[in-house]
Structure 1
Amino acid sequence: MTETDVTALREEMVATCRKMNESGINQGTAGNLSVRTGSGLLITPSSLAYDRMEPADIVEMDFDGSYSGRRPSSEWRFHRDILRARPDIDVVLHCHSVYATTLAVHHKTIPSFHYMTGVAGGTTIRCARYATFGTQALSDAALEALQDRLACLLGQHGQIALGKTLESALWLAIEVETLSRLYVQALTLGEPPILPDDEMERVLEQMRRMSYGLAPDADGVNDVARPKA
């Protein structure tokens, strides 16, 4: 990655952080963001509000934990560990969005009450066990909850969303918050019905096909929209 690439990435990270606040999923100095680079990662600094953050404030960190510049986010361990363990993703976004955190304080996993639960890569969005912020124990809990998933809740803490790009990670974090809000509201009427695993497998296959630009109807049961010749 060239110096020009790193500079552009820093600028995009700051813009994404500000979008986190604008979207309502983050506030103050809560939350953090990291992006894989060739030899390590870029990560947001500790205790700096996003509206005051500049590209030069983004911290360069190696996978051994060494860094240059400002002090990195207190959650650098799970950012480092997730990026190291998950070569399929390049971005880790963490925030304390209100409804996701509401579920997290009750250690509730989000079940397949709605088919869009599948956007996180499985039939549920798990809630990781509680561990003190900034610790290896929290990183280990997050990695466990993220097994085969792109998002999870953190017990009595917040949420994590992963992506190949900053845009996709932000989109997923907002979607997790939307699903969390829907689930909290659905629970006021009682436990909602849950889609069975076989239906969620069909949903996940449809989502996989669409992510590759294919028609979503894998079985040919319905007419498939197609461009005119």
Structure 2
Amino acid sequence: MSDERQLRTEIVESCLNMSRLGINKGTAGNVSVRFGNGFLISPTGIPYDKMTLDHVVAMNWDATFEGDVLPSSEWRFHRDILKARPDLNAVVHTHSTHATAVSILERDIPAIHYVIAAAGGATIRCAPYEIFGSQALADRVITALEGRRACLMAHHGVITAHVSIPRALALAVTVEELAELYLLCLKTGAEPPILNDEQIAEVLERFKTYGQQSPKALEGLRQAS
């Protein structure tokens, strides 16, 4: 993983980007990343445009932390995701409008579009409702994320997780787009047709190399920048 200052910078910038991208408002949402013997997480109650690197909280796996700045009230599911999933290094939580609307309907997002495979499977599950910040919610989230990199939380919002903060944030945008498409389809009054498991498995296989440039091309991009 990167050094601590760089990761703190990524958390602050990602919080600001959530607002710029329109997938979060106010002080809702939070971001975390694996670091050292625990993780770094955005603070509770501090407006994103006022947040500094020093406001980012370093937490241990036992939930202890140093300093006077309190971590996000949702630290439990951030901690439990990172502990349970060594394949994931960063977690992003938003209250994006369309994904939250689907969560209010208590629905999974089905395979209406092949890009759902970016979240790891044929559905984006909706975890049953539990009060925010609770261990019960964290437990529900861990179950909903089995074999996945994204889930909804009923009457709450969306969680995405990936190998880095930028990848987790990009996935949050994808989930919001899928949720908007799903709601548009539901407006027709009928359940939309969905891709089957075989079709999604084919996409998952393609995604293993999708969007990857050759080392020579990447070196040319670095030299041009």
> Above 0.5 in TM-score?
yes
Q: What is the aligned-residue identity percentage?
A: 47
Q: Residue 39 of structure 1 aligns with which residue? A: 37
Q: Residue 93 of structure 1 aligns with which residue? A: 92
Q: Residue 203 of structure 2 aligns with which residue? A: 203
Q: How many residues align?
A: 212
- Cα 1:211/1:89, change in 2 over 3 Å: farther
Specify the code of the residue in structure 2 equivalent to 1:179: L
User: Normalization by structure 1: what TM-score?
Assistant: 0.89
Deviation of the 1:86 alpha carbon: 0.5
Specify the code of the residue in structure 1 equivalent to 2:198: D
Deviation of the 1:29 alpha carbon: 0.7
Structure 2 CA distance for aligned equivalents of residues 160 and 86 of structure 1:
14
Deviation of the 1:88 alpha carbon: 0.3
Structure 2 CA distance for aligned equivalents of residues 79 and 25 of structure 1:
19
Q: Deviations over 1:81-122 (max 9, x none)?
A: 100001001101001000000000111100011111111000
Specify the code of the residue in structure 1 equivalent to 2:25: Q
**Of 64, 67, 70, which aligns to 2:65?**
67
Q: Deviations over 1:171-208 (max 9, x none)?
A: 00000000000110011112111111111111111112
Aligned: 1:194 with 2:194: yes
Deviation of the 1:38 alpha carbon: 1.5
Q: Residue 22 of structure 1 aligns with which residue? A: 20
Structure 1 CA distance for aligned equivalents of residues 78 and 33 of structure 2:
9
Structure 1 CA distance for aligned equivalents of residues 5 and 120 of structure 2:
31
**Counterparts of residues 42-191 of structure 1 (less than 5 Å):** 42-69=40-67, 70-189=69-188, 190-191=190-191
Specify the code of the residue in structure 1 equivalent to 2:36: G
Structure 2 CA distance for aligned equivalents of residues 165 and 84 of structure 1:
15
Specify the code of the residue in structure 2 equivalent to 1:208: K
Q: Deviations over 1:52-73 (max 9, x none)?
A: 1011100010000001121110
Q: Which portions of structure 1, spanning 4 or more consecutive aligned residues, are displaced by more than 3 angstroms?
A: 211-214
Q: What is the DSSP-based 3-state SS (H/G/I as helix, E as strand, rest coil) of the residue aligned with 1:156?
A: coil
Specify the code of the residue in structure 2 equivalent to 1:165: S
Structure 1 CA distance for aligned equivalents of residues 144 and 61 of structure 2:
21
For structure 1, the 5+ residue unaligned runs are 215-229
For structure 2, the 5+ residue unaligned runs are 215-225
